């Protein structure tokens, strides 16, 4: 290499390194001061066409992903199927991260994990004609301030409800989150038997602005009974009757999905 080309390449490499370092520092600086204690969640939805794909994805999490994440200090990973699917079930995977940096570095660490790559071979090397899944829909969520970490329920027979609240605009979405964080809605949930697993604001993903949360119940009878108890709670009625918090103003669509944990799910 000529000296002039070598000098140019060296200068360019140094500039890119400085830029990457500056960008990382800028991202860290722009995070809210109180964001460090709030977890981040990757919520994946695997679109499948048959049972063979379902087995590939389930085996991947059971034999490769969950053990590898454990080696990285990442636990409480939930893997679920639909309670009442219409056709082939989707698989829902919830992966909690202690920080944004842990989320950003996990992919490279998995790629360099020989044990993971060997265990994940059937999933990672599935052919284009027989893929492991049709598509993955993935979102990144940040935990709410009032419930900054995921709460794992007891390991008993139970069902889960995943709920997404969409809002017409960012301000409306923040207003709904405010109901949970500062107006006591999460506390009313817990008091009336709506046992939460996590609450998160979608910061990257589809159908924004939205928030997503997960509840757990012994069965559908408890689900129906406790939601009825919540809706008749005097404190909830007081909050929901405030003009600024009327559902018609801050929630445009609610989607509810009932899930069953897989045998190897950590939630």
**Residue ranges of domains in the chain:** 36-261
Taking the model in full, what pTM does it have? 0.86
Query: Residue 36: its pLDDT value, please?
Result: 55
Span 112-163, pLDDT tens digits = 999 999 999 999 999 999 999 999 999 999 999 999 999 999 999 999 999 9
Asked if residue 63 lies in contact with residue 10, where contact means CB atoms within 8 angstroms, the answer is: no
Coil, helix or strand at residue 126: coil
Show the tokens assigned to 187: 């506390």
Query: Residue 26: its pLDDT value, please?
Result: 39
**E strands of the chain, at which residues?**
40-47, 78-82, 91-97, 135-143, 159-166, 195-204, 210-217, 253-261
Distance, CA of 198 to CA of 148 (rounded, Å): 8
Closest C-alpha to 113, from 155, 145, 69, 148: 69
Query: Residue 251: its pLDDT value, please?
Result: 97
Cα dist from 86 to 23, 62, 83, whole Å: 45, 24, 10
Residue appearing with tokens 């998160």: 200
On average, the pLDDT of the chain sits at 90
Query: Residue 139: its pLDDT value, please?
Result: 98
Query: Residue 184: its pLDDT value, please?
Result: 95
Show the tokens assigned to 160: 């889960």
pLDDT > 80? residue 47: yes
Query: Residue 44: its pLDDT value, please?
Result: 98
Q: Are strands 78-82 and 253-261 parallel, antiparallel or unpaired?
A: antiparallel
pLDDT > 80? residue 28: no
User: What are residue 82's DSSP bridge partners?
Assistant: 259
Q: Does domain 36-261 have CATH number 3.30.750.80?
A: no
Asked if residue 200 lies in contact with residue 189, where contact means CB atoms within 8 angstroms, the answer is: no
What would the mean pLDDT of 248-252 be, rounded to a whole number?
A: 95
pLDDT > 50? residue 199: yes
Query: Residue 207: its pLDDT value, please?
Result: 97
Query: Residue 34: its pLDDT value, please?
Result: 44
Query: Residue 29: its pLDDT value, please?
Result: 38
pLDDT-derived band at 94 (thresholds 50, 70, 90) equals very high
Query: Residue 5: its pLDDT value, please?
Result: 42
């Amino acid at each position: 290499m000529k000296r002039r080309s070598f000098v140019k390449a060296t200068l360019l490499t140094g500039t890119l390194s400085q830029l990457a370092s500056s960008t990382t520092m800028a991202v860290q600086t722009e995070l809210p001061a109180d964001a460090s204690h709030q977890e981040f969640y990757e919520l994946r939805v695997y679109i499948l066409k048959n049972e063979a794909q379902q087995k590939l994805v389930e085996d991947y999490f059971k034999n490769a992903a969950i053990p590898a994440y454990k080696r990285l200090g990442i636990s409480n990973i939930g893997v679920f199927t639909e309670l009442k699917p219409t056709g082939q079930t989707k698989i829902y995977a919830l992966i909690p991260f202690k920080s944004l940096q842990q989320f950003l570095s996990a992919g490279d660490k998995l790629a360099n994990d020989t044990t993971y790559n060997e265990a994940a071979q059937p999933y990672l090397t599935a052919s284009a004609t027989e893929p492991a899944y049709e598509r993955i829909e993935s979102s990144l969520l940040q935990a709410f301030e009032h419930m900054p970490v995921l709460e794992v329920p007891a390991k008993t027979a139970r069902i889960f409800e995943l709920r997404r609240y969409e809002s017409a605009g960012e301000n409306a979405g923040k207003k709904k989150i405010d109901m949970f964080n500062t107006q006591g809605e999460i506390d009313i949930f817990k008091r009336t038997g709506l046992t939460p697993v996590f609450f998160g604001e979608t910061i990257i993903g589809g159908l924004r602005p939205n928030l997503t949360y997960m509840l757990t119940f012994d069965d559908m009878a408890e689900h129906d009974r406790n939601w009825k108890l919540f809706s008749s709670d005097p404190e909830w009625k007081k909050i929901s009757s405030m003009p600024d918090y009327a559902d018609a103003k801050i929630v445009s669509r609610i989607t509810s999905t009932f899930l069953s944990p897989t045998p190897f799910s950590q939630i």
